[in-house]
Structure 1
Amino acid sequence: MGSCVSKGKGDDDSIHNVEFSGGNVHLVTTKEIWDDKLAEAARDGKIVVANFSATWCGPCKIVAPFYIELSEKHTNIMFLLVDVDELSDFSSSWDIKATPTFFFLKNGQQIGKLVGANKPELQKKITSIIDSVPASPQRS
Structure 2
Amino acid sequence: MGQCFPKAHSNEADSERFVEFVGGNVQPVTSKEDWDQKLSEAKRDGKIVIANFSAAWCGPCRMLAPFYCELSEKYPSLMFLLIDVDELTVKKYKWGCVMQELSTSWDIKATPTFFFLKDGQQTDKLVGANKPELMKKINAILDSEANSGK
If the length of structure 1 is used for normalisation, what is the TM-score? 0.91
Partner of 1:52: 53
C-alpha RMSD over aligned residues: 1.4
Identity %: 65
Paired AA for residue 66 in structure 2: P
- Check if 1:78 corresponds to 2:95: no
| 8 Å contact kept, 1:53–1:99 | yes
Q: Take 1:104 and 1:6, find their aligned partners in 2: how far apart are those partners? A: 21
SS of 1:96's equivalent in the other structure is coil
Q: Which residue of 1 aligns with 2:36?
A: 35
The SS at the match of 1:71 is helix
| Structure 1 unmatched ranges of 5 or more | none
Offset at residue 12 of structure 1 (A): 2.7
AA matched with 2:52: N
Larger radius of gyration: 2
Question: Structure 2, unaligned stretches of length 5 or more?
Answer: 89-98
**Residue number among 3, 10, 13 corresponding to 2:15 in the alignment:** 13
TM-score (norm 2): 0.85
Q: CA deviation at 1:101?
A: 0.1
Partner deviation per Cα, 1:26-55 (whole Å, 9 max, x = no partner)? 000101010010000000100000000001
User: Matched residue of 2:34: which SS?
Assistant: helix
Query: Does the C-alpha gap of structure 1 residues 6 and 44 become closer, same or farther in structure 2, counting only changes over 3 Å?
Result: closer
Asked if the contact 1:102/1:115 (under 8 Å) is kept, the reply is yes
Q: Which runs of 4+ in 1 moved over 3 A?
A: 8-11
Q: Which amino acid aligns with 2:81?
A: L
Q: CA deviation at 1:9?
A: 3.2
Residue 90 of structure 1, CA deviation: 1.2
The structure carrying a bigger helix percent of its residues is 2
User: May I ask how many residue pairs the two structures share in their alignment?
Assistant: 135
